[in-house]
Chains A and B, each alone.
Chain A
Amino acid sequence: MSLTLADVRRIAHLARIEITHDQAEATAAQLNDIFAMIERSGRVDTAGVEPMTHPLDGVQRLRQDVVEPPPEREELLRNAPEQQDGLFLVPRVIE
């Protein structure tokens, strides 16, 4: 397998990271090195092996469905790049 420049641009778009042409070239080379290393594990026979997604094979614990006091609104908004009247501001998305 070898990732092309078009592949890298598509992945960068999916990841919502802007990438220049020069960066895409350098990134393609590095990603291909990484995937060449990753391919080694693809050759292992895993027939009948259950995938492991949690090291203790734990089940997701659910908390009681009770109302808890939410964090302070002002404190949460303090880190926002732009805010107004208690709301997060983003560029206009509906004309």
Chain B
Amino acid sequence: MTELAHGGLAQLSRLLEERQVSALELAELFLARIDRHRSLNAFLDVRPELTLRQARAADARRAKGERGALLGVPIAHKDIFVTRGWASTAGSRMLEGYMSPFDATVVEQLAAAGMVCLGKLNCDEFAMGSSNENSAFGNVLNPWDAAAVPGGSSGGSAAAVAARLAPVATATDTGGSIREPAAFSGVTGVKPTYGRPSRWGMIAFASSLDTAGLLAASAEDCALVFNSMLRFDPRDSTSVQRPDEDFTRSLDMGLRGVRVGVPAQFFTQGLQPDVEAAVRAALEQLRQLGASLVDVELPNSPLGIPVYYVVAPAEASSNLSRFDGVRYGHRARAFDDLNDMIKKSRAEGFGPEPKRRILVGTYVLSHGYYDAYYLKASKVRRLIAEDFQRAFQRCDLIAGPVTSSVAFNFGEKAADPVSMYLADLFTVPGSLAGVPGLSLPCGFGDRGRPVGLQLIANHFDEARLLGVAHRYQVATDWHRRIPAGF
């Protein structure tokens, strides 16, 4: 049964289709693994009776003749997506025990396709963090090395997939929250084009950046799930109206003629030799598979972090103003009046990182500072986005490292917010531009910790992005490695 869990989603899908395994058996298998590895702290809410009910319903649908690549396949959701039945906390005391009256669109779409929910995954509070140390419910451990952070903010999603406690997990990426934990935990993580997956029912952090995506064992697995997930949603005002696509259509493409851009700016700024060696080897492998490597420039990308830490906190301060202790969320026990109740409830409910970002955002939007910070950052954001468009005139994809080092240790950056922010140096530019990007395992570095290769495509070019990643994964086996003990 362990082999079944290790195999990945595409294989489970085939076995379900051939009736060699039932949805119920798979649900029981993964629930048992989740229970056995509780010490990872990857899950915040598991309710076996709800999971088994969904599994039985999937089996009943198949018994009636329904087919579908995802029918009966288990999935776990990052606790940023609201769910009926399972608590939705965003990793925050503010929302401890919150029971959503509805499902997020992404959750609803995948349930409609027959996916079985295994539970809710731990994450940094309100998706703010790069190490998972900002979760109010304790950090997730990295299955490869318990001293290493799993990455963040989707640390629970990454660790759960790395340990094969779930074949696939939803996640969200605002500045790197899918790609960075994918790299640190040695799994495949894909952030689609901004606006392509629905944000409805995703607890909001920074609305011009927040993008739902997936972590799984392979690019092929992600492509299969995207077919049911990247669809127009009338309930999300920034959802992009485009015809549905088959994201698996380019999985068999060859790499001949594909131009892979290598940006100089991603190979400086403290890139560690172990990461650089693994990434350069992966680039060479892409070349041997038929791709051509071209030098490109993203000259403004080093400004990504300063721009992001104006734009994202500004949007966060606005989004998180809804938490006032009135309609839902934490309310302080003792207070003098309404204003005092709101101030105390927010002081008690939010952890240090959301508070910091709310304060930064409040300041940059305040009277007299808006032009100097928010407006200025919005202009530099355009320069960063234009760099990508210029680069994509010379190449089809951009490749480079996801992070400058392998996973760091718990406590290493926790006391210094700015050093933590720099963990997202190579992922933030793509987020600001809204382009799709992924991280795939490409080797191991210092202390045997995983290294990720980042591939970035132009808007709406996910199929090719996944196709190139798939060709790499057909030729390599880094993505098949499972951490010891799982």
- Give A contacts to B, CB under 8 Å: 3, 7-8, 11-19, 27, 30-31, 33-35, 37-42, 44, 46, 49-56, 58, 60-63, 71-72, 75-76, 78-82, 88, 90-91, 93
- Cα–Cα distance between A58 and B241 once the two chains are bound (Å): 11
- Cα–Cα distance between A37 and B421 once the two chains are bound (Å): 10
Complex contact B101–A71 (CB within 8 A): yes
Complex contact B341–A90 (CB within 8 A): yes
* Most chain B Cβ neighbours within 10 Å, of A39, A56, A61, A71: A56
- Cα–Cα distance between A41 and B432 once the two chains are bound (Å): 14
> What are 27 A-B contacts defined by CB distance under 8 Å?
A7-B363, A14-B366, A30-B417, A31-B360, A35-B360, A37-B309, A38-B309, A38-B310, A38-B377, A39-B306, A41-B306, A41-B310, A41-B376, A49-B380, A54-B238, A55-B385, A56-B193, A56-B240, A56-B434, A58-B195, A63-B237, A75-B101, A76-B327, A78-B99, A81-B325, A81-B329, A82-B331
Complex contact B379–A42 (CB within 8 A): no
- Cα–Cα distance between A75 and B240 once the two chains are bound (Å): 30
Complex contact B363–A38 (CB within 8 A): no
Considering only CB atoms, which chain B residue lies closest to A89 in the complex? B326
Contacts of B327 in A (CB 8 A): 76, 79-80, 88
Considering only CB atoms, which chain B residue lies closest to A75 in the complex? B101
* Most chain A Cβ neighbours within 10 Å, of B306, B373, B421: B306
Complex contact B350–A17 (CB within 8 A): yes
Contacts of A71 in B (CB 8 A): 101-102
Contacts of A62 in B (CB 8 A): 237
Contacts of A90 in B (CB 8 A): 326, 338, 341
Contacts across chains A and B counted by CB atoms under 8 Å: 166
Considering only CB atoms, which chain A residue lies closest to B435 in the complex? A55
Size of the chain B interface, CB-CB below 8 angstroms: 73
- Cα–Cα distance between A92 and B306 once the two chains are bound (Å): 43
- Cα–Cα distance between A37 and B305 once the two chains are bound (Å): 8
* Most chain B Cβ neighbours within 10 Å, of A17, A40, A76: A17
B residues 339-359 touching A (CB-CB < 8 Å): 339-344, 346-347, 350, 355-356, 358-359
Complex contact A60–B385 (CB within 8 A): no
Considering only CB atoms, which chain A residue lies closest to B331 in the complex? A81
